[in-house]
Homo-oligomer: A and B are copies of this chain.
Amino acid sequence: MEIRPDELAERISALLEGDAADLLRELETVPAADVASAAKHLEDDQVVDLLKKLPEEISADVLVELGDEIREDVLERLTPREIADAVEEMDSDDAADVVSELDEEKAVEVVELLEEDDRREITQLLTYPEDCAGGIMQLEVVSVREDRTIQRAIEKIRLAWGDVREDFFYVFVVSSEGKLVGRLPVPRLILANPSDTVRSVMDEEILSVQAELDQEEVAQIFQKYDLPSLPVVDREGVLLGRITVDDIVDVIQDEAAEDYSRLAGTDEEEFREDSVWRKAAIRLPWLVTGLLGGVLSAVVLSRYEDDLAAVITLAFFVPVIMAMGGNVAIQSSAVMVRALATEEIRPRDAVRRLTREVGVSIITGLVCAALIFVAASFWWGDMRLGAVVGLAMLAVILISTSVGAFVPLAMDRVQIDPALATGPFVTTSNDILGILIYLSLATSILGR
């Protein structure tokens, strides 16, 4: 069913040398997404050549589907006229995305070359910030006035043909002032009596979002109510456009990327960032936090200078205690952040989850303590050392697991993003905690 991208690329590569008609015949039935996948195995010049040889509506589809990096390269090699021709074939949301990727000057040229209608639509869409409902909506919708008949709604679908793609699910119903008042699922149109009024058949009390709403909240509405599409309105309730669920999938991925990047000690912005300087600027705050923690660790160690000098073997186990404290804390904090992100946690569940983490830490703590006890006792031939390291390991795992699980819950309660409590922050604080526990245990057991 699916075509291997590299094989398709080879065929395209050969066909580019030959007749344009052969190329078109071959690619006619291939989905644009497959052509776009093949493009990554072609030279940029070949991709540009391909886009020029294909009919405008097909090259527009391919351009929409291309990966960001390839598209950037390709757009640089196309003239404003060529880009404008492709943009006119696109859905308004994709068109606005492509234009927003161009540099300022070229974008202005492209927009000036567009037909009046398209220019107005794109200019309107570009006024919304990228990360709100207006920034991801498309303006192509089929709508009908509530006082018209079902027959009229069907005619509206006929009129919209070609402008709106076929996979739409609702005809939206508006008042005489253009305000959204309901929707008609397309299958219902088929079964309704053509002379019935739209008002008598439509769903009322439907969900919609204002154009200014943050895209994450839009995504939550889609997920909660399992919607295929959602109408977007302005502050007066006038229908502006619609968001479809395939655009929301990208938003959901971005949201997951945010938690992921926090855990790694960076920011989701970085994934879209090419400049080495800005990438470094995004990572440095996390690194400097870690650095400060490291200096604090050094201070703690220096306070035990005499003990360490007397029993230098003690220093050997600082890394393992540190590392394990960090590891268990990351595990428990990540599990908690994940739970908070995907479920609605009742206060009772929170207690249950904390108790569970303590249970887990007793098991993992006992296992790891036993292992390090054996390693330290036999390898370094000192049972007392083994006992100290093993006990410290148990204490560190118990405490770090619990702290790692508790902090995100507490932060969520006071409405701070719990994902901030993962990553370098957790490892750093547990590094210091671990060293303190270890050395205070060691000195009190081994004596001075």
Contacts and interface: CB of A to CB of B under 8 A. Distances in A.
Interface of A: 1-2, 5, 29, 31, 33, 37, 40-41, 67-70, 154, 157-158, 161, 166-169, 185-191, 205, 207-209, 221-228, 245-246, 248-249, 252-253, 256-257, 259-261, 263-266, 270-271, 274, 276-277, 279-280, 283-284, 286-288, 290-291, 293-295, 297-299, 301-302, 305, 308-309, 312-313, 315-324, 326-328, 330-331, 333-335, 338-339, 342-346, 349, 356, 359-360, 363-364, 367-368, 371-372, 375, 379-380, 422-424, 427-428, 431, 435
Contacts of A320: 291, 293-295, 297-298
Contact of A305 (B158, B169, B312): B312
The 5 A-B residue pairs whose C-beta atoms are closest, nearest first, are A294-B320, A264-B334, A256-B256, A276-B359, A280-B363
Contact of A316 (B154, B266, B298, B345): B298
Given A1-B209, A40-B346, A265-B331, 11 more contacts: A40-B345, A245-B246, A266-B331, A286-B327, A286-B331, A291-B371, A298-B316, A301-B315, A309-B309, A319-B431, A326-B427
B190 A190 contact: yes
Nearest to A206: B1
Contacts of A270: 335
A207 B34 CA distance: 12
A416 to B, nearest CB: 19
Contacts of A360: 276, 279-280, 283
A343 B280 contact: no
> Interface SS of chain A: helix, strand, loop or mixed?
helix
Given A271-B339, A320-B298, A356-B274, A263 B260 contact: yes
Query: Which of A264, A295, A435 gathers most chain B CB within 10 Å?
Result: A264
A37 to B, nearest CB: 6
Contact of A264 (B245, B297, B331, B356): B331
B364 A280 contact: yes
A368 B287 contact: yes
Given A290-B324, A322-B319, A363-B277, A167 B166 contact: no
Contacts of A41: 346
A228 B167 contact: yes
A205 B3 CA distance: 13
A291 B335 CA distance: 21
Contacts of A280: 359-360, 363-364, 367
B356 A276 contact: yes
A279 B361 CA distance: 10
